[in-house]
Structure 1
Amino acid sequence: MLRRAGVHMTVSSLTDYSSLVREIGGECAFVRVSGELLVSGSKSGEVACWDLDSGKEMWRSKFEGPCSNSDSNKDFLFFTESDRVHAIVLSSGDEAWCVELEGSSDLVRVSSECIWVTSSVYNFEIQDYSEGSVWKIDYSGKVRWKGDTIGRAWSLSDFQGQAIMGLSRPKCGYAIASETGIEYLELEEKKPVTAGCKLDGGGIVFGHSNGSVTEIYGGVSSTVSLGDSAIRAMDCGSSWVVGLDSGVVSTGESLGSWKIESMESIDVVSFGPSLEDVAGIWYSSWNDKGGVFLVDSSIGSLQLELSHESRIVACFATEHTICFGDISGCIHVIEKEVLRRRFGRLPETDIESGRESELRKKIRALRGA
């Protein structure tokens, strides 16, 4: 079922609905929530942590940069930066360890017994990533195993203690890495993988450069074509949702396989808090101006549209909270209860006055005082 994103409504701003706004310093590379803490890293090498409830900054560190990707457990923040991967104690901001990799560090994922990290080398002669590596590092920072990959990994998932990687050219397909080695597997869709994630039930989903999505579950693979442009963004829960370079947002079969057509390229897409009992799907787009959209995951109906003056480049969500990081270094946090309260009190056709908006900014600033 195809729907076109509505543009008839008057639009509030992302700031109007945010319960917390903070700055990381430089273009946001990652943002995430771990327990009651909000953490973010920037392309310029800043990494900071705030208390979600009070808004108070807990710690801030400066690295060479650029930061690129992150994951966390209850004790540590793991993130890739330049040619390194770091483990930071969340409660204090102290660095537990740092491992220098070969090439540029790319993706990091936490597993039950280790963390998996990928790195790559860019070949300027062929204008592509010619080689890559995958690393298994234990929680003490010791490298347990390293394997070289053919091409760069564009997605990384942990599955039963193994690393699942979606690959670009020349190999394409995907690879399974463990201490016994790397196994390469072909997919029905031969185009390069551009995104990937793991379903709650254990399946693996890959997005491709031609707009196709491959889902692997229980050893069975299925592929669906959603358009003729690359999958730019993807998120997984019990099902999957993707955003295409052409502006299409679409879901998996269990959510009805609906499509929304936007007029702009999709930058981020995520499941997150909603206005109703069913899960919400959030996505952002950009075409000289920014927009953040909330749609009903069950039928794809547009529920909320928020304007934003800077391009959204990072996103992270839990059931109750969604966070956006933009190219100017601002972090916006939307909480479910605040979202519902403000939506019910202020219809979307009633934009806040400048005085009300300034008052909200002062209240948010006081939370971090």
Structure 2
Amino acid sequence: MADISDYAWFVRDLKSRLYAGDWNGYLCCWSDEGGLLWTAQAEDRVEGMCGASEAKPPFICATAGSKVNCIDAASGEERWNHQLIGSSDLVTCSDDGNRVLATSSVYEIELNDFIESTCWRFDGDGNLVRQDTFEERPWHLILDQAGAARMGVGRPRCGLIMQTDDEITHLNLAEDDPILCGATASGKTVFGHASGLISLLSKNGKKMKSLFDGSEESVLTLQSDGKMVIAGGDDGMARAVSCKGGETWAVDLGRPLDECTIAFEILGEKSCWVATWNGIQASLWVIGSESGKVHVEFDNLPRIHTLTSRGDRVAVGIDDGRVMLFNEELFSRRITGEGNEPDGPTDGLDSSTGQSRLSLQEKLRSLRK
């Protein structure tokens, strides 16, 4: 567990390091063992992060406030930043760091809606290659190996917007059905729609296939591992859907879903981690991906703002500033009873280590002063 002293707003797990950003633009990097490696300060709330692990040297990019920031992954030193129009939103980059893409949006308070968005395309040195402005707000951004970006967008046109170095094109693939979220894994991209539809983007990026349309509740969060999708919305139903089509299981968690991720195996099947929020407190559920069995529920938590997983670990960013990293081996021991943990809901995530947690919090806060 680590503490960044403010809202943990975005967490990114890359290679052997963990990166996180908070509500006030504070950025941290930790080692595998939880040692704080560096801190940095961005303009405002960190909205998104991506990493170019094969760039020389490797870097991370963060959207914060009205800027996109490029930061050296090893030292935390800023390499470049660029002012955007409106508030910065999504960010992605190629593994080699040759292209960095960010989106920003302008919100009109009187209309209570977004009035325009811009997709910005940079090279690895921060030089602007292209910028395009359009009416729709992107809710998912992907960059393929050929350098083409695709954005799942909402109204008025819905569907996808594709941008390359040379042009921008609208693809009318989801007429009158806004895309609200998306996920990309193992070369497959899935989208969640306002109608409750979960769709799969074709390999050429020009068609959408329906995977599930059995609910009228908007899909507000989803994740995929390329074989299955875990998704949900305000009705409290967590659903597993096969990337070949069809619902595998559905579990009523009784509260709106905030975040989800698919992670390491527990008892022979991958685990689905789902965060819910009832307006007062959050719960974190760990569910079997094939069986739909609830392995454990952690309740009485502050709101969970981000969930991410890679390999043998899961990172959780919480409203009170904690960033928690769960290891597959240790977590599996506790789930199977080897760690002498009680079955059923667990209050507050490992309360038996409360004193050591407070001690670590105090040490990390002192580093920030």
After TM superposition, the score normalised by the length of structure 1 is 0.87
Q: What amino acid is the match of 1:283?
A: V
Q: 1:99 to 1:26 in 2, by over 3 A?
A: same
Identify which of 277, 288, 296 aligns with 2:288. Answer: 296
2:42–2:69 Cα contact (<8 Å) kept: no
- Change in CA separation of 1:355 and 1:265 when aligned onto 2, cut-off 3 Å: closer
Q: CA deviation at 1:87?
A: 0.9
Unaligned runs of 5+ residues in structure 1 are 1-20
Instruction: State the shift of 1:27 in Å.
Output: 1.6
Which moves more between the two structures, 310-319 or 58-67?
58-67
**Letter in structure 1 aligned against 2:73:** L
**1:121 correspondence with 2:106:** yes
1:310 paired residue number = 302
Matched-pair contact (CA < 8 Å) for 2:200–2:243: no
Query: Structure 1 residues 254 and 163 mapped into 2: Cα distance closer, same or farther (>3 Å)?
Result: closer
Q: State the secondary structure of the residue aligned to 2:248.
A: coil
Query: Which among 41, 45, 48 is matched to residue 21 of structure 2?
Result: 41
1:189–1:212 Cα contact (<8 Å) kept: no
TM-score using structure 2 length: 0.87
Q: Sort the Cα spacing of 1:248 and 1:124 in 2 relative to 1 into closer, same or farther, 3 A.
A: same
Contact 1:278 1:297 in 2 (8 A): yes
- 2:284·2:298 contact (CA, 8 Å) conserved in 1? yes
Question: What is the distance in 1 between the residues matched to 2:36 and 2:295?
Answer: 33
Moved more, 33-42 or 76-85: 33-42
Residue 64 (str. 1) matches residue 43 (str. 2): yes
Q: Number of paired residues? A: 347
Superposed counterparts of 1:71-150, under 5 Å = 71-74=50-53, 75-112=58-95, 113-150=98-135
Equivalents in 1 of 2:195, 2:342: separation in Å?
36
3-state SS of 1:65 partner:
coil
Q: SS of the counterpart of 1:72?
A: strand
8 Å Cα contact 2:194/2:218 also seen in 1:
yes
Q: 1:165 to 1:93 in 2, by over 3 A?
A: same
| CA–CA distance in structure 2, aligned partners of residues 143 and 249 of structure 1 | 41
Q: 1:189 to 1:279 in 2, by over 3 A?
A: farther
Equivalence map 1:244-323=2 (5 Å): 244-254=233-243, 257-287=248-278, 288-323=280-315
CA distance in 2, matches of 1:349, 1:204: 36
Is contact 1:56-1:367 (8 Å) kept? Answer: no
Q: Secondary structure of the residue that 2:101 maps to in structure 1?
A: strand
- In the TM superposition, 1:171-190 aligns within 5 A as 171-188=157-174, 190=176
Q: Write the deviation string for residues 265-304 of structure 1: whole angstroms up to 9, x where unpaired.
A: 0010101123233221110101122211111111211112
Q: Give me the CA root mean square deviation.
A: 2.5
How far apart, in 2, do the equivalents of 1:273 and 1:366 lie?
31
Instruction: Pick from 331, 339, 342 the counterpart of residue 348 of structure 1.
Output: 342
Q: For 2:196, which of 208, 211, 214 is the aligned residue?
A: 211
Contact kept, 8 Å, 1:136 with 1:143, in 2: the verdict is yes
Letter in structure 1 aligned against 2:46: C
Q: 1:337 aligns with which of 320, 329, 333?
A: 329
Q: Is the CA contact 1:84–1:99 (under 8 Å) kept in the aligned structure 2?
A: yes
User: What is the SS of the residue equivalent to 2:326?
Assistant: strand
Residues 243-267 of structure 1: per-residue CA shift (max 9 Å, x gap)? 2121111122248532111110001
Of the structure 1 ranges 275-284 and 253-262, higher mean CA displacement relative to structure 2 is found in: 253-262
Instruction: Give a deviation string over 1:147-202, Cα, whole Å, max 9, x none.
Output: 112211111111232111011111211111112221111234522111012241x3
Output the CA distance in 1 between the equivalents of 2:361 and 2:133.
47
Equivalent residue for 2:353, pick from 350, 354, 357: 357
Matches within 5 A, 1:162-241: 162-188=148-174, 190-200=176-186, 202-218=187-203, 219-223=206-210, 224-238=212-226, 239-241=228-230
Runs of 4+ in 1 over 6 A off after TM superposition: 362-369
Distance in 2 separating the partners of 1:361 and 1:124: 41
What corresponds to 1:5 in structure 2? Answer: none
Aligned-residue sequence identity (percent) comes to: 24
Q: Structure 1 pair 363/23, CA: closer, same or farther in 2 (3 Å)?
A: closer
The higher relative CO (CA closer than 8 Å, separation ≥ 6) is in 1
TM-superposed deviation, 1:367: 10
Letter in 1 for 2:10: F
Stretches of structure 2 that go unaligned for 5 or more consecutive residues are none
How far off its partner does 1:104 sit? 1.1
8 Å CA contact 1:304–1:348 kept in 2: the answer is no
SS of alignment partner, residue 241 of structure 1:
strand
1:282/1:292 contact within 8 Å kept: yes
Q: Flag the 1:308–1:57 CA change in 2: closer, same or farther, 3 A.
A: farther
SS at match of 2:353: helix
